[in-house]
C-alpha cells in the first residue's frame, strides 16, 4: 500500500516536472489577440503586505485597460507569480514567464530591489522590456550603456534625499538622526544620504535597526546624545510604528521633527502608532494628498480617478504609494505599447517609453529619456504630514 503511494508520488513528481517543460515549449507565444504581460510581486513572505498592494495596483490597471477595449483591440493577458521575496525563485519564474509562458513584456520586479536587480540581466539578455517598480537606482543606471531596455516608475533615492535636504535647509536643520532598517530599502537610502548630506552641510548620525526589531529605544537614546533637530526613519516595515512610539516615549514632549521616508506613507501604520504619529512629516509622492493640492496640477485628476477606482475595486481601501507605482508601471507599459501599435519588441518599446514625453501618472509626471530611466524628479516629491487623522501637504 505504502509502496504504491510512494511509487505514485515519485512518478507524479517526475511527470509534473517533464510536463511543465514539455507542454509549453514557447507554444502560445504569438497569439494575435492578446499581449502577454508578466509580473512578479512578493505577496507572501516578509514583504507580503506591500506586494499585495502592488499587485492590486497592477491588477487595477490591467482591468481598466481591458475594459476599455485593450491596446489597439488586443487584450492584456496578465501572468502573475509570487517569488515570496526570494531572488532565485524570482529568476526561475522570470525564465518561466519568458521561455514557457510566452510573456512579451515584464512589469513589476518582485517588490524588492534585489529581485528587480536579479531579473534585469535575464530580461535584457532576451531583448525584453522590463518596467520595474522597485527603488534601487542600480536597476536602471547607467541607462543608456547598461540598461537600455529597463525602466522603473519609482523615485531614485537620490531624488528623495535631495528633496529632504532642501526641506531641511528651508527649516534650518543641520543635525539629523537617521534610522534606516537593514533591508535593501533602508540601505540604499543610507548610501545616498551619507553621500549627499555632508555636501549640503548637514550632519547625519546613523543607527540602523533590524526590520523585525520590537524595541528601538537604545538607538533613539543613543542618537539623542547628538542633539539632532530631526529624526528620520527609513523603512517599509511595521518597525516604523515602533520607531514612532519609542521616539515619543524617549523624547517626551520635545518638539524635534519626526520624519519617515516614502515607504511608510500608509494610513494604517499611522493610525496604529496612535498619538505618537501625529505631526510626523514624510517625503512622498503627491498621491496621499491628491484631494488637498491645487486642482490646476495636471496630476490631480489622474490621482483622483485612480484613488476612486481603487477604493471601488477593493472595498473602500485607500491606495498607498506602492499600489500607485505598480499602476503607473503598468500604464507606462500600456502607453508604450499603444505607441508601438502592440509591437512588443524590447527596443521598440524602450524607444516608445523614451518618446512618451511627459506621462502623467499617479505617483508623478514621468519624463523618461535615453539617459534617465526613472523619469521622476524632485518636483514630483511632496512633503506631507500626518495630522492625526489624515495626510496633509506641508507648505
Partner 1 sequence: MDTGLLIQVILSGLSVGAIYALVAVGFGVIFNATGAINFVQGEYVMVGGLSAAMLYEAWDVPVLVAIVAAVALTVLLGVLTEFGLLGFGRLRTPASITIATIAIAVIIKGAAMLISDRDTYALPSVLGAGSLQVWGASTSRQTVLNLLLAVVAVVALALFFQRTKLGTTLRAAAGDSETLQTFGVSYRTTARWAFVIAAALGAVAGAGLAPLTVMSFDSGTLLGLKGFAAAMLGGLGNPRGALAGGLMLGIAEAVMSGYGAAAYADVVAFVVLLAILTLRPTGMFGTAQAVRT
Partner 2 sequence: MRGRRGASDGTRRRRTAWELWVTIGLLVVLPLLAATDYSLHIWTRMAIFLILLTGLNLIQGVAGMTSLAQAGFFGLGAYAAGISAVRYDLPPLVALVVAPVVVTLVALLVGVLSMRLKEIYFTMATLGAGFVLFLLFGRMVELTGGPNGLVGIPPFSIGGLEFTEPIMRYALVAVLAALGAVVAHNLLVSRTGRALRAYGASEPAALAVGASPFRLRLLAFGLSGFYAGVAGALEAFDSRFISPSTFDFMTAVLLVVALVVSGAGRMVGPILGALLLTGIEVFAADYADYEPLIMGVIFLVAVQLFPRGVAGELAVRWEERRERAQRTGEAAGPAETAETARTTRTTGTDGAPAMIEEVGR
> Can you give the binding site for partner 1, defined by CB under 8 A?
43-46, 48-49, 51-52, 182, 207-210, 212-219, 221-222, 225, 238-239, 241-242, 245, 248-250, 252, 268-269, 271-275
Span 102-121, contacts to partner 2 by CB under 8 A: 112-115, 117-118, 121
What is the distance between the alpha carbons of residues 312 and 358, in angstroms, rounded to a whole number?
28
Sign of CA dihedral 137, 143, 145, 146: positive
Sheet of strand 150-152: strand arrangement: 75-81, 34-41, 105-110, 130-132, 150-152
- Per-residue CA distances from 143 to 91, 115, 353, 373, 391 (Å): 21, 18, 13, 6, 34
Nearest alpha carbon to residue 178 among 223, 145, 136? 223
HSE, CB side, 13 Å, CA atoms: give it for residue 278: 6
87 binds, among partner 1, partner 2, none (CB under 5 to 8 A by kind): partner 2
By CB under 8 A, is residue 295 in contact with partner 2? no
Nearer residue to partner 2 within complex by CB, 184 or 318: 184
Nearest alpha carbon to residue 337 among 62, 41, 26, 56? 62
Q: Which of 38, 57, 70, 85 binds partner 2 (CB under 8 A)?
A: 85
Nearest alpha carbon to residue 45 among 101, 131, 112, 137? 112
What is the closest distance, in whole angstroms, from the C-beta atom of residue 184 to partner 1 in the complex?
A: 13
269 binds, among partner 2, partner 1, none (CB under 5 to 8 A by kind): partner 1
Site string for partner 2, 2-21 (x = CB under 8 A): xx-xxx-xx--xx-xxx-xx
Give residue 105's Cα distance to chain centre.
Answer: 18
Nearest alpha carbon to residue 73 among 45, 35, 116, 129? 35
Sign of CA dihedral 8, 88, 149, 60: positive
Nearer residue to partner 1 within complex by CB, 155 or 178: 178
By CB under 8 A, is residue 340 in contact with partner 2? no
308 binds, among partner 2, partner 1, none (CB under 5 to 8 A by kind): none
64 binds, among partner 1, partner 2, none (CB under 5 to 8 A by kind): none
250 binds, among partner 1, partner 2, none (CB under 5 to 8 A by kind): partner 1
What is the distance between the alpha carbons of residues 63 and 314, in angstroms, rounded to a whole number?
13
Name residue, grid cell 535636504: 165
Name residue, grid cell 514621468: 366
Nearer residue to partner 1 within complex by CB, 43 or 289: 43
By CB under 8 A, is residue 328 in contact with partner 2? no
Nearer residue to partner 2 within complex by CB, 44 or 369: 44
What is the distance between the alpha carbons of residues 283 and 160, in angstroms, rounded to a whole number?
7
By CB under 8 A, is residue 84 in contact with partner 2? yes
188 binds, among partner 2, partner 1, none (CB under 5 to 8 A by kind): partner 2
Interface residues with partner 2 (CB under 8 A) are 2-3, 5-7, 9-10, 13-14, 16-18, 20-22, 24-26, 43-44, 80-82, 84-89, 91-93, 95-96, 98-100, 112-115, 117-118, 121, 136, 138, 182-184, 187-188
Amino acid at each position: 500500500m505504502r509502496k504504491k503511494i510512494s511509487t505514485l508520488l515519485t512518478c507524479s513528481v517526475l511527470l509534473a516536472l517533464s510536463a511543465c517543460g514539455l507542454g509549453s515549449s514557447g507554444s502560445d507565444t504569438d497569439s494575435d489577440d492578446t499581449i502577454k504581460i508578466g509580473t512578479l510581486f512578493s505577496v507572501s513572505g516578509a514583504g507580503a503586505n506591500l506586494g499585495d498592494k502592488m499587485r492590486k495596483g497592477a491588477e487595477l490597471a490591467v482591468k481598466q485597460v481591458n475594459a476599455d477595449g485593450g491596446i489597439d483591440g488586443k487584450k492584456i493577458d496578465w501572468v502573475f507569480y509570487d517569488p515570496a521575496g526570494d531572488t532565485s525563485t524570482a529568476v526561475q519564474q522570470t525564465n518561466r514567464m519568458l521561455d514557457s509562458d510566452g510573456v512579451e513584456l515584464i512589469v513589476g520586479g518582485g517588490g524588492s530591489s534585489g529581485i528587480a536587480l536579479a531579473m534585469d540581466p535575464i530580461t535584457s539578455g532576451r531583448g525584453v522590456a522590463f518596467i520595474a517598480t522597485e527603488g534601487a537606482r542600480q536597476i536602471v543606471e547607467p541607462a543608456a550603456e547598461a540598461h537600455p531596455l529597463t525602466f522603473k516608475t519609482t523615485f531614485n533615492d537620490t531624488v528623495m534625499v535631495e528633496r529632504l535636504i532642501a526641506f531641511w535647509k528651508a527649516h534650518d536643520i543641520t543635525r539629523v538622526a537617521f534610522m534606516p532598517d537593514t533591508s535593501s530599502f533602508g540601505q540604499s537610502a543610507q548610501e545616498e544620504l551619507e553621500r549627499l548630506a555632508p555636501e549640503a552641510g548637514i550632519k547625519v548620525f546613523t543607527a540602523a535597526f533590524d526590520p523585525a526589531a520590537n524595541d528601538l529605544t537604545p538607538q533613539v537614546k543613543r542618537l539623542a546624545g547628538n542633539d539632532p533637530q530631526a529624526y528620520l526613519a527609513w523603512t517599509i516595515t511595521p518597525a516604523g510604528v515602533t520607531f514612532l512610539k519609542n521616539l515619543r516615549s524617549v523624547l517626551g514632549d520635545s518638539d524635534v521633527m519626526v520624519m519617515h521616508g516614502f515607504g511608510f506613507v500608509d494610513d494604517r501604520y499611522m493610525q496604529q502608532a496612535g498619538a505618537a504619529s501625529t505631526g510626523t512629516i514624510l517625503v512622498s509622492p503627491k498621491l496621499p494628498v491628491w484631494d488637498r493640492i491645487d486642482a490646476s496640477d495636471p496630476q490631480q485628476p489622474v490621482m483622483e480617478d485612480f484613488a476612486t477606482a481603487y477604493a471601488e475595486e477593493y472595498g473602500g481601501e485607500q491606495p498607498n504609494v506602492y499600489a500607485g507605482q505598480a499602476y503607473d508601471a503598468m500604464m507606462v507599459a500600456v502607453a508604450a505599447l499603444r505607441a508601438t501599435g502592440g509591437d512588443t519588441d524590447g527596443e521598440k518599446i524602450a524607444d516608445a517609453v523614451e518618446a512618451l514625453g511627459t506621462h502623467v501618472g499617479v505617483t508623478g509626471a514621468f519624463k523618461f529619456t535615453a539617459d534617465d530611466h526613472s523619469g521622476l524628479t524632485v518636483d514630483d516629491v511632496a512633503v506631507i504630514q500626518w495630522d492625526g487623522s489624515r495626510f496633509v501637504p506641508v507648505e
